DNA sequence: ACTATTCATAGTAAATTAGTAGGAATTGAA
DNA sequence: TTCAATTCCTACTAATTTACTATGAATAGT
């Protein structure tokens, strides 16, 4: 059970955007790429997922780039991670298992999933950026 | 971030062994295979991991098989899952990241890992078998 | 018009997962 | 002592997923 690179890089991006939020300016992919050490083409895809989840806003064209859609103390690590990665630890979490109703672990997975998300949602991007965890 | 089939099947096996613990008898792979619907050859590998972690005891030869090494109310789901799967959600959890000391998420991953394990260690195999979760 | 940027999507190499397979070692019983 | 039932060990393989790379269209400012 591993976090993907999208999850790890997604947090890097989120923290960079958090640090830049006050300025009101947009950061473009190449500056994010430089700050994080991740290729810009890969970052584009990751940021696209965050945008789809309404965590970041984008403007295209010259001087375009990205900015958080809200103050970093109102965006949680959980929101970011769920945007870029599927945290559902088993496929049958919200559907029916292959072992219809017979799966002894079904409730366990549900509780574990809730547990993970509850924790991740207690931490804001501001806290993460300040390493106040 | 998904649990592997080893994690899922490992719990199936653990529950079967828990249900059988009182009898004092050993269960062989083919009966576990039948009870769980997982191929015996694959189960062998999974059980080998549990044995290595001292969760189950094995006896070979005719009438051989497996039994839990302790009462199912003293074995936790966390012990089983750690035996069959690496729950360390990032590689650098207990070593140094590539981003030496610069990784903003390092502490987060550590806390999340602790959180997951703490939860999983509150649940015993007895509870799991009784779906008392 | 030109340039800087995001957006959309296709392709690919590497790694991991999820098994299958074959046979050696051990034990109990006939 | 032989046979059958079992675990143990390890190699192999197919399928899936991950982690990117690549190409070019759409958009916006100057």
Backbone angles phi, psi at B67, to 5 degrees: -145, 150
Arithmetic mean of pLDDT, B65-90: 98
CB B1 to CB A85 under 8 A? yes
What pLDDT is attached to residue A103?
A: 87
* pLDDT at residue B103 is higher than 90: no
Contact B50, B83 (CB under 8 A): yes
Task: Read off the DSSP letter of residue A23.
Answer: G
d(CA B65, CA B63): 7
Tokens of residue B101, six digits:
């000391």
* pLDDT at residue B98 is higher than 70: no
Q: What is the pLDDT of residues A63-122, one digit of tens each?
A: 999 999 999 999 999 999 999 999 999 998 987 776 656 789 999 999 999 999 999 999
* pLDDT at residue B15 is higher than 60: yes
Å from B111 to nearest chain A CA? 8
What pLDDT is attached to residue B75?
A: 98
Query: Distance between alpha carbon B30 and the CA centroid of its chain, in Å?
Result: 19
Can you tell me whether residue B56 is helix, strand or coil?
strand
d(CA B5, CA B85): 9
What pLDDT is attached to residue B97?
A: 72
Arithmetic mean of pLDDT, B19-36: 97
What pLDDT is attached to residue A101?
A: 64
> A1 touching B, CB under 8 A?
yes
| Range from B7-11, B94-98, B119-123 carrying the lowest mean pLDDT | B94-98
The whole model's pTM is what?
Answer: 0.95
What pLDDT is attached to residue A98?
A: 65
Could you give all domains of chain B from N- to C-terminal order, each with its CATH number?
5-86+125-129 (1.10.10.10)
d(CA B46, CA B125): 17
Provide the 10 A C-beta neighbour count for residue A107: 14
DSSP per-residue string spanning B99-113: STTT-TTHHHHHHHH
Can you tell me whether residue A2 is helix, strand or coil?
coil
The CA–C1' separation of B47 and C23, in angstroms, is 19
With a CB-CB cutoff of 8 Å, which residues 67-96 of chain A face chain B? 77, 85-91
d(CA A109, CA A113): 6
Provide the 10 A C-beta neighbour count for residue A13: 25
**Confidence at B94, pLDDT banded by 50, 70, 90:** confident
Contact A85, A10 (CB under 8 A): yes
Q: What is the pLDDT of residues A4-57, one digit of tens each?
A: 999 999 999 999 999 999 999 999 999 999 999 999 999 999 999 999 999 999
DSSP per-residue string spanning A15-62: HHHHHHGGG---B-HHHHHHHHTS-HHHHHHHHHHHHHTTSEEEE-ST
Pairing of strands A56-59, A65-68: antiparallel
The CA–C1' separation of B46 and D4, in angstroms, is 25
């Amino acid at each position: 059970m591993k976090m993907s690179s999208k999850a790890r890089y997604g947090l890097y991006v989120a923290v960079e955007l958090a640090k830049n939020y006050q300025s009101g300016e947009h950061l473009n992919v190449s500056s994010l790429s430089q700050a994080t050490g991740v290729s810009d083409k890969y970052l584009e895809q990751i940021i696209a997922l965050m945008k789809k989840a309404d965590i970041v806003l984008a403007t295209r064209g010259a001087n375009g780039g990205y900015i958080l859609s809200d103050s970093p103390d109102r965006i949680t690590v959980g929101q970011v991670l769920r945007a870029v990665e599927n945290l559902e630890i088993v496929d049958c979490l919200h559907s029916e298992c292959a072992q219809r109703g017979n799966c002894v672990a079904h409730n366990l997975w549900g509780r574990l999933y809730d547990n993970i998300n509850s924790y991740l949602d207690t931490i804001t991007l501001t806290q993460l950026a300040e390493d106040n965890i």
